[in-house]
Structure 1
Amino acid sequence: MFSQFALHERLLKAVAELKFVEPTPVQVAAIPAALQGNDLRVIAQTGSGKTAAFVLPMLSRLLGDGGSQPRVCLRAMILLPTRELAQQTLKEVERFAQFTFLKAGLITGGEDFKQQAAMLRRVDILIGTPGRLIEHANAGNLLLDEVEVLVLDEADRMLDMGFAEDVERLAGLCNGEHQTLLFSATSGGAGLREMVSKVLKDPTHLQLNSVSQLNEGTRQQIITADHNYHKELLVDWLLANETYDKAIIFTNTRVQADRLYGKLVARDYKAFVLHGEKDQKDRKLAIDRLRQGAVKILVATDVAARGLDVDGLDLVINFDMPRSGDEYVHRIGRTGRAGGEGLAISLICHNDWNLMSSIERYLKQRFERRNIKEHKGLYQGPKNLKASGKAAGTKKKKTDAKTGKKAAAKKPAAKSPSKRNTINKPKSDAPVLVSKDGLAPLKRRKPAEPGAE
């Protein structure tokens, strides 16, 4: 029960109103530690309830004993990698703060800069993306010296998108006594460890899962394919035959996303495409239509779909294999959320196999192999050298039956030149006449008999 936490009574009222009953594991672990004022470094999978794990203690700290007092200045900031995730987080903050006087605002790219600057003077909690916030800081609009709580959500993704310097600068502009709560779905490697060392002070580390335990409710399969056209046939078959409420198809490039979207629309699928070249209006329209059920299929690149939270999204297809294990974790995190079931299928060509194998090793898992008999291709993965017994360096040397000593290897007999290699070879050193296209020798005419014309 949420009543076990020392949250402000106005927040407990909101939680009851929203019918939140049992806290998730990440909430049980993170909320008490955050309420004690500790800096936190939390690894928790997407869909585990981590937004409430940082929003509730943040709001409780801001309320203190004077939750009914009007705002004085900007006191909390939440940084996120994408506009879509920032918009979703704003809605969550507003839901939990519905019985308080705390006001939240959103700062992302694609909106009027002057209106955003005016809004900054009227909110207690700021939610935004690093790039746009840096622009306001450079313009002198963003004053963070009274910030008490800084939240970095999806920190690993912000690092991947090149926001490390922006995040560190914004953290440096905050009050030196502020609390920092950093959440990510993966460990993030050396780059994220460096960010943690720079922006967190003696943090409490909470790892709620290992990557090998992510998305237990999601089946993970691979289907081999010969080429991209073969992949398109497989996508068409899967969308026609799998049972799903909503599906998302990931590609690595905008060009491939647009091409696949065009193919689906031509086949009368209700689909939408989402990538970095889409403006804010189109991006919002795509997500709203998917949530409302007006479309069932979203074709997207990683950057565009980051932070996407849509109920009923139970099928993920990797048309292109992601380039890292962390990116794979984020993709399949779109399905099998909050204990639900889902299916993640990766389409593997010969140039995807090594990537797929490295991701299996990273996750310490082996994906289920699957074939679609209607579209079974020739490529079924690399040949197993061990099975053939002819791997390089594995031949057993023969021993002489009489001496027991290893027999000397026989030199291979000299091969006679094959007819195929000599068929076009001239029989003399005379020059060879070649056809105009340079592809084949011309037949040499016999010299004329003496006296012939």
Structure 2
Amino acid sequence: MTFADLSIEQDIVDALASKGILEPFPIQQQTIPLALTGQDIIGQAKTGTGKTFGFGLPLIQRLGAAPEPGVKALVVVPTRELAVQVTEDLEVAAMNRPTTIAAIYGGKAYEGQIEQLKAGAQIVVGTPGRLIDLQRQHMLDLSHVQEVVLDEADRMLDLGFLSDIERIFQSIPEVRHTMLFSATMPAPIVALARRFMSRPVHIRASDPDEGLMQANIKHVIYRAHSLDKDEVIARILQAEGRGKTVVFTRTKRAAAKLVEELKDRGFNAAAVHGDLNQEQRERAMAAFKAGKRDVLIATDVAARGIDVDDVTHVINHTIPDDPDTYLHRVGRTGRAGKTGIAVTFVDWDDLHKWTLIDKALAFGIPEPTETYSSSPHLFEDLDIPVGTKGRLPGASSHAATAGAPAEKRSSDRPPRDGARDGARDGSRARSRDRTRTGGSQHSSAPAPVSESPAPDATTGPADDVATESGATDGAAKRRRRRRRRGAGTGSAEATASTPQGGSDGE
């Protein structure tokens, strides 16, 4: 497509071509045809995306090939630098016409600017403060303005120019063609559009990743507790329709910790972060792309290298530092025209970061919903079956038997948690018996060590005895060592029948 295809007149097309500008950018393709008809437009685009020609070319063409002297078009910008840049761009487009452009901004002598106005400049590009200043001096007449543009309106509001903008609009005719451009669309911008525009059309133009994200991705923002995040993630990973998932962490340590936690819970997870060598990272990525792993934990360093079309979920375990990083992260899902879900956890200490991201990307969610793994809305928002827990069925037994000897790994063996609970109950009973007898070592009841499988007798129960009974004498310690030796050799019966008294207790 060329500018001529957008109905731009030939002398302007030739002026652009002389500077090597031949093809319009997306924002220009969308705004120029509408603007030429006099349609009020809200253009949402960032600086550097070509929006100056998007509003500048229609503005110049609508003024005519030979406009009369006097200000007919006004472009209001927030900074001096932008005023100079916009003026230079418009001068290029109007170089084959007698149309003149004056840059009006502070920090520069009045004389030159006033001379341009007196000479009959038809287009004024200026900052609010200097424009109002020249108005007060009766050097700037805005009563014949036909075209008005507010460029980077959100930045002007940030700089406190709202009252100045209102004053400027009071000085221009009510019947006019108005265009407003803003990178974000907060409430004050919407209010401006409603007050000063007539049935505006909202056009959003952005880079491919960002545009795809807005169209295809559902964004869910939660304020979560750091100690509950792993449980929440584990439940999200069991959502209906959940496919490949990327979880982003801020640090390498957090990534390494999370991948081990998810594996322990039964999930098929891999990690990509800076502490892994290149071969390990490539292997993890290959497994994820091939579907051998369906959960990938990654740091921001790896975000741009994840190009997988069938990622259904992106989870921000920790909030990114800025809007661009957020876009790069969540852009891993919703690719190739598919839909995706992006879940972001915001810690209490990171609310200020979310405020910046929310404003920059115009989510309109200044206060994320406080969410826990048991929150009903979590299950509703993400299609998680009610009653889902953060551990896959069978994951507990697998974790228990992973380090046990092969001959002990049988299907009829009780889970580790149950075994430990039984051993702990027996230990507590022995503890209470000794406490009631004043620490006597001649209990009439043998210790029920045989209730617990031998491998578990070596971990946990003895320590529980000491902790819960408060027994700290040397005799008690020697008895515990004796029980461990007996359990370690598999002589559970011998251990159970050994009198708790004896020489060790004397």
State the TM-score, normalized to the length of structure 2. 0.44
Higher relative contact order (CA 8 A, sep 6+): 1
**Could you say which structure has the larger radius of gyration?**
2
Q: Which has the higher helix share?
A: 2
